[in-house]
Structure 1
């Protein structure tokens, strides 16, 4: 009986220790207030207030026909390293879309600043959740789920998206499927179509070779 009680206590202890670890879903914790960058020769760089200021995330002229994205992630703003936050600015001329994509490392909280947007995401059971947003609305896209935004109105729309990761990552569904070197026959069978259709989609989504 004593050995059984001891065994039960060990299992409880393991569960209590493991539970917080299972709940961690963001970037790894850092052991300092912030991550200090180093120079090419490994010497820490002198840090001032400028390091914590990102000055390139400013309004730009709205293009006439394409969706545009401006990011402030760890790649563009190194001070975000270890802070588990990042931003993106999205601009939608009328009739444009942010194609289906996922963020594997963070949920996305979108705040619509102006215009209107139709948004949606698909859960792992294949159910589609959609909403028509107006300025002032917020919408959350759960981490890792396929989602999109579309401006079906007659006016431009602009939104800010916040992420719970300094490097949320973006996986474009169309580009990942048809813009890579996955075998044409595999794709044709997967999408129940023919090889010429797959090749046409690949031609449209594969970036031209760099000169």
Structure 2
């Protein structure tokens, strides 16, 4: 009688002892991680100055300035990073994209923004943000930000629950990675010439 439950017992034990698949940052066993080539650890190691002056000008096109693991090695293992987003007036756009390893918490510090994301049921959630508003984009979901104000730039600060949240641009990942034109034409229910025009438009800017 007990033998018929043996396969179930093996499955339970295997699940209990297997390593979890991590979609975010792993926990660390130390207070912080120091790169191997770093010989001195003081307050400077924990300071990042790359965002100084970032609000002093307005770029001609959308611009993102990151403070992630690549720019700020002290973030390794800390599961946090930032980005400053600058949107010029009248059409400044952060095109649809995803962050596969983190949610994004956006804080609007100047101007206004139209933001939105699409869930796994293809439901679109949008909101018009004013200064002081926060908006969360759930981890891995396609989202965007857009400045529709004709004469006012917008600035936002985004926080991420990962030192390396990653960014996957939807337009570029679909049209600029070598996916066959015929596959794209069938997927978007259009013709190959239209796909080629889209590709030229993306790669020429």
What TM-score comes out, normalization by structure 2 length? 0.87
What's the C-alpha RMSD, in Å, of the aligned pairs?
2.5
Distance 1:36 1:79 in 2: 7
Per the alignment, do residues 14 and 97 of structure 1 end up closer, same or farther by CA in structure 2, a change over 3 Å counting? same
Q: How does 1:105-184 map to 2 (within 5 A)?
A: 105-154=101-150, 155-184=152-181
How many Å apart are 1:67 and its aligned residue?
Answer: 0.6
Distance 1:35 1:183 in 2: 43
Per the alignment, do residues 171 and 207 of structure 1 end up closer, same or farther by CA in structure 2, a change over 3 Å counting? farther
Gaps of 5+ in 2: none
Q: Does 1:201 align with 2:198?
A: yes
How many Å apart are 1:46 and its aligned residue?
Answer: 1.7
Q: Deviation above 3 Å: which 4+ runs of structure 1? A: 1-4, 7-15
Segment drifting more, 50-59 vs 95-104: 50-59
Contact persistence 1:180–1:206 (CA under 8 A): no
Gaps of 5+ in 1: none
Match of 1:82 in 2: 77
Contact persistence 1:109–1:163 (CA under 8 A): yes
Contact persistence 1:115–1:156 (CA under 8 A): yes
Distance 2:46 2:134 in 1: 26
Distance 2:176 2:92 in 1: 20
What TM-score comes out, normalization by structure 1 length? 0.85
Aligned length: 201
